[in-house]
């Protein structure tokens, strides 16, 4: 890109262009969250085990057949003058009938996603705050946060603007009710 063409881009466009051109090492995730590029290392085995336990319960017990993706990034609305957020949840769930993941590239819109899943790791504050705001702005109905540091699981629901209006937190070991379209109690004893 020439210097002249570069000058016509806004700061937000330059940030987005730089972010999309990143070449992160295998296993690392680069995200653009509220105007900040965040790179996280590969997760540990306990992190992946927790995700697997949740996905297994959803597949076995959900009132609606679900598809799961653990590697699709979401393009979400951004807050106040930042470029569009590009966030990679630990997992997304969508009704199987939508076939939402078919044909989607690595950054897909969030339309049709009914729940995102995050399990805290190296940057728990991002999962608790910034990503929660991103998912709410995107209108994703449910955000399930497994907080390993506090040994709790929280379901955020009813998104409005920059946050969710409702949340329910349970300590590990206590079930957490997932509403429609899931319609079952998520068992958390194995998270201990």
114-141 tens-digit pLDDT? 999 999 988 899 999 999 999 999 999 9
- Residue 146 is predicted with a pLDDT of 98
- Residue 10 is predicted with a pLDDT of 84
From the list 85, 78, 152, the residue with the least C-alpha distance to 119 is 152
- Residue 132 is predicted with a pLDDT of 96
- Residue 53 is predicted with a pLDDT of 98
- Residue 1 is predicted with a pLDDT of 47
Superfamily name with CATH number, domain 43-191: tt1808, chain A (3.90.1570.10)
On the CB side of 103, how many CA atoms lie within 13 Å of its CA?
A: 3
Looking up tokens 């955020």, which residue turns up? 156
State what percent of residues in the chain have pLDDT above 90. Answer: 62
Which residues of the chain register pLDDT less than 70? 1-7, 79-83
Q: Residues near 136 by Cβ (< 8 Å), separated by ≥ 6?
A: 143, 156, 159, 160, 161, 162, 163, 164
From the list 113, 125, 24, the residue with the least C-alpha distance to 70 is 113
Query: With left for phi above 0 and alpha for psi between -120 and 50, is residue 44 left, alpha or beta?
Result: beta
Please compute Rg for the chain using Cα positions.
Answer: 17
**Which helix (H) or strand (E) covers residue 54, if one does?**
helix 45-61
Round to whole Å and give the CA distance between 84 and 134: 10
């Amino acid at each position: 890109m020439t210097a002249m063409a570069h000058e016509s881009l806004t700061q937000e466009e330059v940030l987005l262009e730089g972010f999309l051109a990143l070449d992160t090492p295998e296993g690392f995730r680069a995200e653009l969250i509220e105007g900040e590029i965040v790179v996280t290392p590969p997760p540990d085995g306990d992190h992946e085990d927790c995700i697997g336990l949740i996905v297994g319960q959803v597949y076995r017990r959900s009132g609606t057949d679900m598809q799961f993706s653990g590697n699709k990034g979401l393009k979400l609305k951004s807050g106040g003058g930042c470029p569009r957020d590009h966030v990679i949840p630990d997992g997304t769930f969508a009704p199987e009938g939508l076939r939402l993941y078919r044909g989607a590239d690595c950054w897909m819109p969030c339309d049709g996603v009914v729940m995102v899943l995050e399990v805290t790791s190296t940057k728990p504050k991002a999962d608790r705050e910034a990503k929660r705001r991103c998912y709410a702005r995107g209108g994703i109905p449910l955000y399930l946060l497994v907080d390993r540091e506090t040994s709790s699981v929280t379901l955020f629901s009813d998104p409005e603007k920059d946050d969710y209006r409702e949340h329910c937190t349970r300590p590990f070991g206590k079930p957490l009710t997932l509403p429609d379209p899931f319609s079952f109690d998520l068992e958390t004893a194995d998270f201990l």
